[in-house]
């Protein structure tokens, strides 16, 4: 379905971003990967799906590096048809104890980076398809883009912000073939969440299994993690023709978290 298209997925060396990159590659899209840590293993996993893969190590908190990454994508594949703004970090603390430097980093990586990548991707998407436009911008927000939780001020502010950015991006392009939507996962067992399980287990002197149950039980009625594969399938749907008129939604996949 996506053969000949190029998808740039930020933060795709791990977790949800890697799951989405693999799902788009399974549909034939070439992938521009980004993120830190081990690059070779996830790159090989994507290449094994029979598509071309390139990697750029831009730090998403730095606008100049985001510009370099977008130029790199244009040089490698002629442009970006699908932009998935996924890179993100977390820090957990009450507001009065929240380090100002962590606030700035979360707003930069989880929110401002999406603005920069979007503003740089839009002109080519708007010009595509003989000027009628074609493009897909998918912002990986969170259920925390819809509801709050204590001790996550920067994260919840950034994720509510990205849901707002999603709506405005969708509206400004509503008469073109460029759509923008947000995906709002509940708990997904990635390194970002494993750190929170570990912190709970240590603080409450309990096993990993007990801490996991407690974490799910506090928020997620299904008592199940959403998987990167399920989120990848949702991203594929948003890239499909069937989703041509899905614009500005924030679609939660959260085991009933926000339904309460
Ligand atoms: P993860 O830690 O597994 O992956 C995060 C990715 O972002 C990694 O590839 C990492 O290298 C990259 N990254 C971090 N800082 C970066 C920077 N400055 N520049 C470039 N890349 C950077 O986490 P994840 O759980 O897969 O999270 C991915 C996204 O999903 C985040 O936006 C997160 O907020 C969101 N999310 C996660 C969950 C969850 O339960 N795990 C739930 C809702 C939303």
List pLDDT tens digits, range 31-52. 999 999 999 999 999 999 999 9
Q: What per-residue confidence (pLDDT) applies to 17?
A: 98
Q: What per-residue confidence (pLDDT) applies to 192?
A: 87
Please tell me the residue having the least CA distance from ligand 1 atom 32: 88
84 lines ligand 1 (CB under 6 A): no
Q: Are 179 and 137 in contact (CB under 8 A)?
A: yes
List pLDDT tens digits, range 55-94. 999 999 999 999 999 999 999 999 999 999 999 999 999 9
Mean pLDDT within 217-223: 96
List pLDDT tens digits, range 13-33. 999 999 999 999 999 999 999
Q: Read off the pLDDT band of 9 (50, 70, 90).
A: very high
Measured distance CA(108)–CA(120) in Å, rounded: 16
The number of beta carbons lying within 10 Å of the beta carbon of residue 195 is 13
193 lines ligand 1 (CB under 6 A): yes
87 Cα nearest atom in ligand 1: 7
Three-state SS letters, 102-146: HHHHHHHHHHHHHHHHHHHHHHHHHHCCCCCCCEEEEEECCHHHC
127 lines ligand 1 (CB under 6 A): no
Q: What per-residue confidence (pLDDT) applies to 181?
A: 99
144 Cα nearest atom in ligand 1: 43
Q: What per-residue confidence (pLDDT) applies to 89?
A: 97
Sorted by where each begins, the domain ranges of the chain are 6-187+227-259, 189-225
pLDDT at 12 over 90: yes
Question: Can you give the pTM of this predicted structure?
Answer: 0.98
Q: What is the mean pLDDT of the chain?
A: 97
87 lines ligand 1 (CB under 6 A): yes
Q: Is 155 marked active-site?
A: yes
List pLDDT tens digits, range 118-149. 999 999 999 999 999 999 999 999 999 999 99
What's the CATH architecture for 6-187+227-259? 3-Layer(aba) Sandwich (3.40)
13 lines ligand 1 (CB under 6 A): yes
Q: What per-residue confidence (pLDDT) applies to 79?
A: 94
List pLDDT tens digits, range 165-211. 999 999 999 999 999 999 999 999 999 899 999 999 999 999 999 99
- Pick the catalytic residue: 55, 72, 103, 155? 155
110 Cα nearest atom in ligand 1: 32
Rg (CA), the chain: 18
């Amino acid at each position: 379905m996506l053969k000949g298209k190029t998808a740039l997925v930020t933060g795709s060396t791990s977790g949800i971003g890697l799951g989405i990159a693999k799902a788009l590659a399974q549909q034939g899209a070439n992938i521009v990967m980004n993120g830190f840590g081990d690059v070779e293993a996830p790159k090989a996993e994507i290449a094994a799906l029979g598509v071309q893969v390139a990697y750029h190590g831009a730090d998403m908190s730095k606008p100049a590096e985001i510009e370099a990454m977008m130029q790199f994508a244009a040089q490698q594949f002629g442009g970006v048809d699908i932009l998935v703004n996924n890179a993100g970090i977390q820090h957990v603390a009450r507001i009065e104890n929240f380090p100002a430097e962590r606030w700035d980093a979360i707003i930069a990586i989880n929110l401002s980076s999406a603005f920069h990548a979007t503003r740089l991707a839009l002109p080519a998407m708007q010009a595509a398809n003989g000027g009628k436009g074609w493009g897909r911008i998918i912002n990986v927000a969170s259920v925390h883009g819809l509801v709050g939780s204590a001790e996550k001020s920067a994260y919840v502010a950034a994720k509510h912000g990205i849901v707002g950015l999603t709506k405005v991006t969708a509206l400004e392009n509503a008469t073109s073939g460029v759509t923008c939507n947000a995906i709002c996962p509940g708990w997904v067992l990635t390194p970002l969440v494993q750190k929170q399980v570990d912190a709970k287990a240590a603080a409450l002197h309990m096993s990993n299994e007990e801490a996991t149950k407690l974490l799910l039980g506090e928020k997620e009625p299904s008592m199940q993690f959403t998987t990167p594969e399920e989120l990848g399938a949702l991203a594929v749907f948003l890239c499909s023709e069937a989703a041509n008129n899905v614009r500005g939604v924030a679609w939660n996949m959260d085991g009933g978290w926000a339904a309460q």
